[in-house]
Amino acid sequence: MKQEIFKGAGVAIITPYTEDGINFEELGRIIEDQIAGGTDAIIITGTTGESATMTDDEHKSAIKYAVEKVAGRIPVIAGTGSNETDYAVKLSVYAEQVGADALLVVTPYYNKCTQKGLVKHFTTIADAVNIPIILYNVPSRTGVNIQVPTFVELAKHPRIVAVKEASGDLSAVAKIRHACGDELAIYSGNDDQIVPILSLGGYGVISVLSNVAPAMAHNICQNYFDGKVKEAADMQIKAIDLINALFCEVNPIPVKVAMRKLGYAAGPLRLPLTEMEPEHEQQLEKALKAHGLIK
């Protein structure tokens, strides 16, 4: 068994912006509220954090700030993936230097490299650091899907310890689990599949839902771990309307709007992301009200 980074619900945290940059004061407030709400890990500068539109300095400063703010209370996992291997290495080394506990590294997007290229890419990054890596498989965004034999090969590396599996393919998750066993922990990358992936031996979720409902996401996992499988499943099913609303437009558009409605200064979305369509915002508001998150 390799190093365990966390079990439960880690939040894929938003990045609150001003017109001029990152709103660090509000990011700190969100981090504190997440920890108070039971979040099991902070995942900074991921997709939900709008890392794709961050400058290099913003990316680095967000990681450094999160590490310092959390101060060891729960793990901080830094999103350091890129479609340029050399840049991903440099950013990963930086994240380690400033104290990140682990890295989340997405498949290289747009290039659409081969499976051989994936092995080389991730291995090069893992060889450059001394902290654990979570692979991030999200073919709907990157155009690349990690195949089961590739997972087996990557799991041989001592620092490649887990995957955030966001393909939505539960059959693939079962095959990964069968092929890799305890050499690769699996986290759900989809909030509507937390319990199904836990049932296949998953370790938890890297969650968008946790931004607005950290206790809910944590408790779905904790109930399952405590043997309260029906309670966990009931919570998962009850949350589906809220999860659907949080993904009724491309992430992170709905969750940033939701965070504003919860009273956070989440700030603007960065182009090419735009504000929600009115009918989708109504759907989101209705779900937030139904779960008692707003009045």
pLDDT tens, residue by residue, 69-94? 999 999 999 999 999 999 999 999 99
Instruction: Return the number of other C-beta atoms located less than 10 Å from residue 264's C-beta.
Output: 20
DSSP string, 59-83: HHHHHHHHHHHHTTSS-EEEE---S
**Could you report the per-residue pLDDT of 26-59, keeping only the tens digit for each?**
999 999 999 999 999 999 999 999 999 999 999 9
The active-site residue out of 164, 187, 224, 256 is: 164
Active site residue 112: no
The pLDDT of residue 141: 92
- Supply the CATH classification number for the domain 8-234: 3.20.20.70
Confidence of residue 3 (pLDDT cuts 50, 70, 90): confident
- Distance, CA of 210 to chain centre: 10
Every domain of the chain and the residues it spans: 8-234
Closest C-alpha among 60, 37, 46 to residue 13: 46
CA dihedral sign, ordered 33, 193, 131, 55: negative
What is the pLDDT, as a whole number, of residue 1? Answer: 61
Collapsing DSSP states into helix, strand and coil, what is residue 200?
coil
Any catalytic annotation for residue 136? yes
**Nearest-angstrom CA–CA distance, 183 and 125:** 18
Residue 31 and residue 42 in contact, taking contact as beta carbons nearer than 8 Å: yes
The mean pLDDT value of the chain amounts to: 97
In this structure, what are the phi and psi dihedrals at residue 145, rounded to the nearest 5 degrees? Answer: -120, 130
Catalytic residue among 17, 65, 136, 203: 136
Query: Is residue 2 over pLDDT 90?
Result: no
pLDDT tens, position by position, 222-258: 999 999 999 999 999 999 999 999 999 999 999 999 9
